[in-house]
Amino acid sequence: MKEQLESLRKRAEEELKGTMDRQGLEGLRIKYLGKRGELTAILKQMRSLSEQERPVVGQFANELRALLERELADRAAELHEAETALRLKREEIDVTMPGKRHALGHRHPLSLELNEIKEIFVGMGFDIVSGPEVEYDYYNFEALNIPKDHPARDTQDTFYITDKILLRTQTSPVQVRTMEKQKPPIRMISPGRVYRSDAVDATHSPLFHQIEGLVVDRGITFANLKGTLETLIRHMYGEDSVVRFRPHHFPFTEPSAEVDVQCFSCHGEGCRLCKGEGWIEILGCGMVHPKVLSNCGIDPEEYSGFAFGMGLERLVMRKYSIDDLRLFYENDVRFLNQF
C-alpha cells in the first residue's frame, strides 16, 4: 500500500508540474484529494490492513495528503505570479514613444479683441450689458432722435420685421434701454451683433458687431469722453499712440466727433493700411443729446453724459491689416490659426 501511495505521489507531482492554469489545478485536486479521488480511494482500503500496519500507513497517507495540498497551493501561487507578470508586461507603457497630438481650437480673433476691450472697460468700472437683437423701431431710431423721415435712416439699410419691429442696425438702442432702467450714475459698454441689409463684399456684411459705450452722471463733460477713449486707445494700440477728435454729426449726440488714431504702421506718413491718409478712423462718439436723455426720463438740466460706438470687425481688420471682412465668418483654420 505504501508503494501505491508512493507511486501516486510521483504521478501527482509530475502532473502538477505540467499544469499551466488554475482550472487544471482544481482538476488535479479533485482527481487526487476529492471525495472520489485516488488518495481517498486508497485510504478506504485501510480497513484491510493489520493493526500494526494501519497507523504507519495512516500517518504516511496523511503526510502525503498534506504534502499534495501544499504543493497544489505552491503551484497555484506560482501560476498566479506568472499571470501577473505576463499582464504587467502586456500593459507596459513605453514613455519614450512620441505622444499623439490633439488639435486644439482657440478663440476667434473677434472674441480675442472683444475680451481685451471688455477688460479695459471693466478696469475703469464699467458694467457690461446686453440688449435684444430683434428690436423696436422706437429704441433703434425714434428714442435716439432719429424720427421716421430722418436721412440717417437711409444710411442704415434696415431689415424690418413689421413696421414697428426690426433687426437692430446698431447697439445704440441699448443706451436707451439702460437709461430707462437705471438711474445715473451709469457706466456701461454693450457689445453685440447688429444687422444691415448690405450685400456681402470685402467691407460689408449683413451681420457685424459693434461695441456701444455710455456714461451718464452729474457734471460729465467732453473732457471725460476724451480721457476715457484715450485710455482705451493707449491700451489697444500702445502708450505712444496719437489720437485725433474730428467734428462729425450723429443725431443722438451733440456735439459729435469721430476719433482717428495716427496710423500705427506708418506713423502718419501715409501707407497702404491707412490708404495714404496717415490716420485711421476707429469710432464715433459725442455728448448724449439732451433730447435722448429726456426721452429716457433723465433730466438734461441735472445730468449729462457721453456715448460712443465702434465696429469690432473694423478694429480687428485695422490692427492686423486684414483686407477682407468675409474671412471672419468663413472659419478657415488657416486664417484663424494666425491669432
- Give yes or no for a contact between 136 and 158, defined as CB atoms under 8 angstroms apart: no
Bridge partners (DSSP) of residue 160 are 166
The residue range among 30-38, 51-59, 108-116, 301-309 that interacts with ligand DAH, by the rule CB under 6 A, is 301-309
DSSP per-residue codes, 93-152 = --TTSPPPPPPPP---HHHHHHHHHHHHHHHTT-EE----SEEEHHHHTGGGT--TT-GG
The reply on whether position 309 binds ligand DAH by CB under 6 A is yes
Q: Which three cell numbers stand for residue 150?
A: 430722418
Peptide bond into 173 cis (omega under 30): no
Interface residue with ligand DAH, options 16, 285, 293, 298 (CB under 6 A)? 285
The reply on whether position 327 binds ligand DAH by CB under 6 A is no
Question: What track of x and - describes contact with ligand DAH for positions 193 through 222 (by CB under 6 A)?
Answer: -------------------x----------
Give the chain's length.
Answer: 339
Bridge partners (DSSP) of residue 245 are 259
Ranked by CB distance to ligand DAH, the top (closest) residue is 309
The residue range among 48-56, 114-122, 284-292, 312-320 that interacts with ligand DAH, by the rule CB under 6 A, is 284-292
The reply on whether position 176 binds ligand DAH by CB under 6 A is no
Interface residue with ligand DAH, options 32, 126, 250, 279 (CB under 6 A)? 250
The reply on whether position 191 binds ligand DAH by CB under 6 A is no
The reply on whether position 251 binds ligand DAH by CB under 6 A is no
Peptide bond into 185 cis (omega under 30): yes
Number of shown-chain residues binding ligand DAH (CB under 6 A): 11
The reply on whether position 170 binds ligand DAH by CB under 6 A is yes
The reply on whether position 131 binds ligand DAH by CB under 6 A is no
The residue range among 73-81, 100-108, 278-286, 295-303 that interacts with ligand DAH, by the rule CB under 6 A, is 278-286
Give me the residue label for grid cell 437709461: 179
- Using DSSP's 3-state secondary structure scheme, residue 181 falls into helix
The residue range among 16-24, 160-168, 232-240, 304-312 that interacts with ligand DAH, by the rule CB under 6 A, is 304-312
Bridge partners (DSSP) of residue 257 are 247, 285
